[in-house]
Each structure stands twice: as C-alpha cells, then as structure tokens.
Amino acid sequence: MIFSVVLILVCLYLLVLKTQRPRNFPPGPFALPVLGNLLNLNLENPLKDFERLRRTYGNIYTLFIGRNPTVVINGLKVMKEAMVTKGVEFAGRPQDLFVNAITLKRGVILADYGLNWKEHRRFALMTLRNFGMGRTSMEDRIHGEIQYLIKTLESNVGKTMSPERMFHKAASNIICQVLFGKRYEYDDDFIKEILPLFCEIAKLINGPWAMLYDSFPFIQNLPLPFQKGFRNVERIQTLIGGLVAEHKKTRVPGEPRDFVDCYLDEMDKRVDDSFFCDEQLTMIAQDLYIAGTDTTSNTLLSSFLHLTNNPHIQERVQREIDQVLEGKAQATFEDRHKMPYVQAVIHEIQRMSNTVPLSVFHCTTKNTELMGYSLPKGTMIIQNLTSVLNEEGQWKFPHEFNPENFLNDKGEFFKPEAFMPFSAGPRMCLGEGLARMELFLILVTLLRQFKFIWPEDAGEPDFTPVYGVTLTPKPYHMKVELRSTKD
C-alpha cells in the first residue's frame, strides 16, 4: 500500500517536472501534468485566448501543448526579431504534429528546414516565376478564368446568390492551370471531389482533434475524427497521382507545359538524387494547390462581405476603376500603381480577414535567444498574426474596417510595416505573388461590371469567421446587379 502511494507520488512529481519551463524561458500560465495548458484554451477556436494571454503575460509567453512547451509570439517587434532578423534560426517546422503525420513530412510547406526543403523551395519559386508569376502569361490565365466568373454572375443578375463555391472553384482552376496545365468546369467531378477534401483538412489541422492528437500520443491510433484527415490526404494523393501518371505518358522531355512537367524534367536531371521523386512531386503539388486555392478564395469571400456592407467604399472603388480603365478592354496588374484607393481596400480586406491567423507553426533550428529569453533548439513557435494586424500604434484604425489604414495624408497608398498576412522571412508564403495578382484582377474586373448588394432580408452580417488552419467567412448571400460606368 505504502509502495503504491509512493509510486503514484513519484509519477506525479515526474509529470510536474515534465511541464516545468526550461531555464530563462518566457512566462506563461501554470501548466497541469499531462494536460498542460489545454484547459486555458478553447479548442474550437483559441484566437481570443491567445489575445487574453498576451494581455496578461506580454508579447512572448509559453503554453504547454500537452507536455511540450510552445512559445507564442505577438506584436511587430517580437515578430520581426524572430521571423526576419533571426529568420533562419526560427525557420524550422515541428515534426511531431498531426499535420506532419498526414503529409508524411514531405512537400515544401511543412518540411523541416534543411537541404531538401531549400532545394524544393528554390525549385518551386524559380518554376513559378518561369511560368509567369508576375508576368503577362499569368495575367492571361487569371483573365481567362475571370470570364467564367462573369458568366456565373451574369446568370445571377437580379438574383441573390452564395459566392462561396464560385470563388473556391475559380481559385482552384487558376492554380490547376499552373500545376497541371488544365482547368475544370465548375461541375467537373475532379473539382467537386478535391475541394471538399481540402476544406475538411483545413478545419481539422488547427481544430480540437488535431490538438488532442498532438498532446496525447497514445490516442493517435484510435478510431477518432482525426483519422478522416489521413483518409482525405490518401484520396488527394490518388487524384494528384493520376494527373502525374497522365503527364508521364504525354510529356515531351525538355518541353514543359506546366509545373508537373518541369518537376519531371528536374527528376531526369537528378537521377541519383533521392530528394526529387514521385512522392515529393505529389506532395509539393498538393502544397501549392492549397497555397493557391484556400487563402485566395477565402480572401475573395471576405472582400465581398465587406464591400456589400460598405456600399460607399464599393462606390469609391468603382469610380477609381472607371477613371483609370477608361478606354481599356481589361485591367493589367500594373494598373494597381494608378489605383491607390483600390490597393488600400484590397490590403485592408487582407488585414481584416487575417486568413491564416497563426501562420504555419515554426520551431527553432538551433539554441537561440528571443527578447532576452533562451530558447533551445526544437522549441515550437506559434505566430499570433492577429496581434500584429490589429496592433495598437501600428494602425490608424486597428479594430475597424477602414482603407485609410493604407493611405497617407496625401491619399497615396502605403504599406505599414505591420502588414504581414503572408508571414515574413525565409518561410514566407510561396503563393503571395499569385494571390496578390488574383485579388487585384478579379476584384477590379468584377467591380467594373457588377454592383454587389447586401440583401434587404438577410439581417445583420456576421463577420465572425469559421476557425481552421484558415479563417473562412460564414456562408452568406449577396445580390448581383449589372452596372455601367455612369453608376
């Protein structure tokens, strides 16, 4: 009996030791044995809890996700030191999380910092540039897809419609043309299957079941909801694998049609290089598909939610578009330099939508320091981007939708240092260039031709997003009307 009591006490003592902060570690709330700080967080959506803890413990604090200490960083000063000044030291990816397990630690977004990741990121950036990132050919692809958006909207003139699926499918088609050299009709079986699979994964990755998976390794093989993530990824890999197999049959080596062909050409050059292989190709294609679809489509949804509820802003945007594009058949990405107000509105939409609020988790690649605290190699880092995008002192109107946040006293567009919706440093989002071009060309083209109205019978808009690895606006409807340049 006494032995059993002593054994229990020893076990409890060891568990408490496990949840003690390392020496000179950032402060944080008391962590329970085994549970860590899970009870300090709303697992369905912890964003408000991160802000609450920041107000108590400052811009750098510690949480225990289960037994593992995690450092949450907040505010522009801390974010710059970690992600820019010491970018390489904070460029790692934690490798023992649910999201790593379902992606088999491959690809370019979640791969750990090292030669494999560097080679694939360099290849991806170079190939995207060669296929027109920021060039006319990419503009042509986007404008081509916009014509299908216009047809959909024209068929809904005078009606009330939900824009959710339309924008998801349009963003999907643009990146599919880059990756696979093809687009899909909006009712195609491929696009109807793959988009819901990705949406479900996005909800799972930062949801409660993923956090429980990360905290308690002994539940990882149980038949719990997170297992759906593994099944979804397996199905996505099968779908993408089929496209890769098709490319292998039809490609002409040295004459690439798209990203997949370029990768296959690279594999031919690196016969003895295990970094470039079929498994990496399917996973990097999945990474780029996600980066090119989810954030852009959700930002477009946020755009029209804000514009329909701020008609005076929509009208001012349309006046500037009409003035700059008078006599032109269509907008070009270069036209943005003549549209300071349009640019301000787009950037304010990105700031307020805060599509990836916790970025993608980082970890330290070596023993380092941050704001005077000592962080061992492998320390997991969570970026609370909300704290920067809404930071007092960095914005004229930090807590309200107002394009003046991006206009100086002369009405000229400028980008404050605290604008970092794509994160910063070596791990900055791969799809930023494509996303910026898509948002500008789609919004300008649609607002030039249509007027978007919040339905009278729709009640008050709900700006509270659905939480996941990305923030998604709650489903809503809008009314579509044709306009002329005289509107």
pLDDT score, position 5: 35
C-alpha atoms less than 13 angstroms from C-alpha of 242 in its C-beta half-sphere = 7
Give the angle subtended at the CA of 204 by the CAs of 202 and 208, to the nearest 5°: 135
For the stretch 1-50, pLDDT in tens is 443 333 343 344 344 444 567 889 999 999 988 888 988 988 888 999 99
Handedness of CA 182, 183, 187, 193 (dihedral sign): positive
pLDDT score, position 474: 92
The domains found in the chain, sorted by start residue, are 2-482 (1.10.630.10)
Q: From first to last of the 487 residues of the chain, give the pLDDT tens digit.
A: 443 333 343 344 344 444 567 889 999 999 988 888 988 988 888 999 999 999 999 999 999 987 789 999 999 999 999 999 999 999 998 887 888 788 777 788 888 888 888 999 999 988 887 766 545 588 888 999 999 999 999 999 999 999 999 999 999 999 999 899 988 988 889 888 988 888 888 778 877 888 888 888 888 889 998 899 899 989 998 999 999 999 999 999 999 989 999 999 999 988 777 788 888 999 899 888 888 888 899 999 999 999 999 999 999 999 999 999 999 999 999 999 999 999 999 999 999 999 889 888 899 999 999 999 999 999 999 999 999 999 999 999 999 999 999 999 999 999 999 999 888 888 888 778 888 999 999 999 999 999 999 999 888 999 998 887 788 899 999 999 999 755 5
pLDDT score, position 16: 44
pLDDT score, position 3: 31
Measured CA to CA in angstroms, residue 76 lies from 52, 73, 358 at distances of 17, 9, 14
d(CA 323, CA 446): 15
Cα dihedral: 387, 388, 390, 392 (round 10): 100
Q: Which distant-in-sequence residues (6+ apart) come within 8 Å of 195 by Cβ? A: 168, 169, 172, 293
At residue 53, φ and ψ (nearest 5 deg) are -70, -35
For the stretch 143-161, pLDDT in tens is 999 999 999 999 999 999 9
Output the six-digit token pair for 327. Answer: 């006599």
d(CA 40, CA 50): 9
For the stretch 167-194, pLDDT in tens is 999 999 999 998 999 889 888 898 889 8
pLDDT score, position 125: 87
d(CA 43, CA 282): 31
DSSP string, 401-431: --GGGGB-TTS-B---TT--TT--GGG--TT
**How high does pLDDT run on average in the chain?**
88
DSSP string, 425-476: GGG--TTHHHHHHHHHHHHHHHHHHEEEE--GGG-S---PPBPSSS-BPPP-
How many angstroms from the chain centroid is the CA of residue 117?
19
| Sheet with strand 68-73: strands edge to edge | 60-65, 68-73, 380-383, 362-363
pLDDT score, position 246: 94
Residue 337: other Cβ atoms inside 10 A: 10
